[in-house]
Amino acid sequence: MDTADWIRRDTCLWELPPSGAMRVPVRIHAGQELMEAMDEKVRQQASNVACLPGIVGASHVMPDGHWGYGFPIGGVAAFDAAQGGVVSAGGVGFDVSCGVRCLRTGLTRAALDPIQTDLADALQREIPAGVGSQGTIHLDEPEMRAMLSGGAGWAVSNGWGVPADLERTEERGRMEGADPAAVSQMARRRQRDEMGTLGSGNHYLEVQEVTRVVDAATATAWGLRRGELVVMIHCGSRGLGHQIGTEFLREMAASAPAHGLTLPDRELACAPIDSELGQRYLGAMRAAINCALANRQILTHLTRAVFGRFFPGIALPLLYDVSHNTCKLETHTLEGVERRLHVHRKGATRAFGPGHPSLPPDLCVTGQPVLIGGSMGTASWMLAGTTASEAVAFSSACHGAGRAMSRHQALRRWKGRQLVEELAGRGILIRCHSPSGVAEEAPGAYKDVDAVVADADRAALARLVLRLEPCITVKG
């Protein structure tokens, strides 16, 4: 990206002042190297977001930012309904509430080594993954409605987890305001047999080792130490979320003139928050969040069952579950005034700091765990939310490394089977139903996650706690 007309406010803060139809500035939270590596489309999309009615503060881009659908991936924007603010399906994304949860094992790498291959094979057998993958759970209409309303709480009440899991999940496992009636029959049909499945793309279940601790006090408070293993589960709302995004984007684009909206880009289709369409979308989107929370909860139960066969009595307590791709009504302080805002985070996660009332008591001390997933074969990180991040970008942080090239480019450059062999040589076992799926997610197709989190730390979006490296990766 050409930085000639950007104002560099700080080491990791670039600002593009409003011009033309822009209502607020664009702010990119990245250092020189990551900033210059971003595609010009990131600037274009973030500038378009800055034109939307009711946007406040700025149109933000996280250090992992890259081109997306309408909003850039890594885009954060807050809207005030009282000022004609809008909600955009493109600002949430198709995989609603795609997110990551982390389970503690209490095990070390030495305990894994003798059974690594057998555990990898068992996880692949027991964790449904891949395009169109289906699980053993079939939801009839009453159960579908209960799931869309109840989220992870519904899953726990059906035996897929324990009540303590809910305290460690955003929204305590259930997004209020969900409206199952706003979810179409097609979306319901797509999800009927997909509960407890990983799906494809960059979704995974990964056994990881803590290889570096930056903040020992926080790591200890989270019950983690160097050499210990964790399990990260990355997935979302599967076919249901995708169908909701597809349907509402189409309806929002068609209804824009009737709402008096002139869209800078059709992909930014939106509706006034207070309109019937806006409220209906929020109800459906919140139901999709509950679907994703329930899905990750069921996957947690399946994972615990597999580990229990190798390590009888193991508990795998949940550290935390964070969501990306959401729009949530939150209270934020802007220019010294508390305001209720609808915060879109697309490819970004909440990063609440110490003392935030939504966090359980022990995490109130440290700040929220911010789980940064790497690509297959590269490191992941855990960061902690900071008090400062509220003023920086509505308590938001990056969600991963961010793609450096498209999936099509990756397929042309790498072969899946070769990558599996190369990673096995490094002690990382890959289990995947599709060689092309491995090639699409090649480590080289992503930005350097260490550079991304270093910039997130310097930008005060979140602070570094610990680094993890994969041992087993199960993918679609």
DSSP-derived secondary structure letter, 273: T
Q: Is residue 331 packed enough to be buried (19+ CB in 10 Å), middle (13-18) or exposed (0-12)? A: exposed
Show the tokens assigned to 88: 């955009």
Decide if 209 contacts 109 (C-beta within 8 A): yes
Nearest to 322 by CA among 283, 373, 365, 246: 373
Dihedral of the CA atoms 277, 283, 284, 290 (nearest 10)? 160
242 classed as catalytic? no
Strand partners, 345: 76, 326
- Helices then strands, counting H and E runs in the chain, come out as 16, 19
159: left (phi over 0), alpha (psi -120 to 50) or beta: left
**Phi and psi angles of residue 388, each rounded to the nearest 5 degrees, phi first:** -65, -25
Residue at 178: amino acid letter:
A
Decide if 200 contacts 476 (C-beta within 8 A): yes
Dihedral of the CA atoms 12, 380, 230, 114 (nearest 10)? -150
Strand partners, 212: 467
Q: Which position among 66, 242, 344, 399 bears the catalytic label? A: 399
Decide if 271 contacts 252 (C-beta within 8 A): yes
Which active-site residues does the annotation give? 399
